[in-house]
Amino acid sequence: MVLLKPMERKNPQDVAAPPKFYAQAISQGITDLERLAYLVSNQCTVREADCLAVLNALQHNVMDELAMGRVVQLGTLGNFQIGVRSEGTDVQDDLNVAAVRSAHVNFRPGPRFRTFLKTVRYRMTGS
């Protein structure tokens, strides 16, 4: 179950408008690679150390593939792809790689993951 808390926010497009309350998801901790390896090892016949080695290799290879401009598809989890933010230019020929301000990862959930997102249950905290 995902915990939610009310967050008061102003409308950045209308600063004179009264603020409204919006739901914000609250983290309930972190699951790291070691924990994932432990969980996976308990669901199959592979030892925890082997699972951790595979997850570390997966992590390394996902970043390498993204750096080569590839979309990384992780089964039903979804697709990962590099995206960039850049400065705009008035003329196409003036645009070059120096205009790139930052890179980020675009994640597009797969069909099974989208279905999961539709079935997530929530609980509101006091504040």
Tens of pLDDT, residue by residue over 93-107, are 999 999 999 999 999
For 26-80, what is each residue's pLDDT tens digit? 999 999 999 999 999 999 999 999 999 999 999 999 999 999 999 999 999 999 9
* The predicted structure's pLDDT at residue 99: 94
* The predicted structure's pLDDT at residue 127: 59
> Are 55 and 35 in contact, with CB atoms under 8 Å apart?
no
pLDDT-derived band of residue 126, with 50, 70 and 90 as boundaries? confident
- Find, among 64, 63, 94, 99, the residue nearest to 84 by Cα: 99
Average pLDDT (109-122) is: 96
> Are 86 and 101 in contact, with CB atoms under 8 Å apart?
yes
pLDDT-derived band of residue 12, with 50, 70 and 90 as boundaries? confident
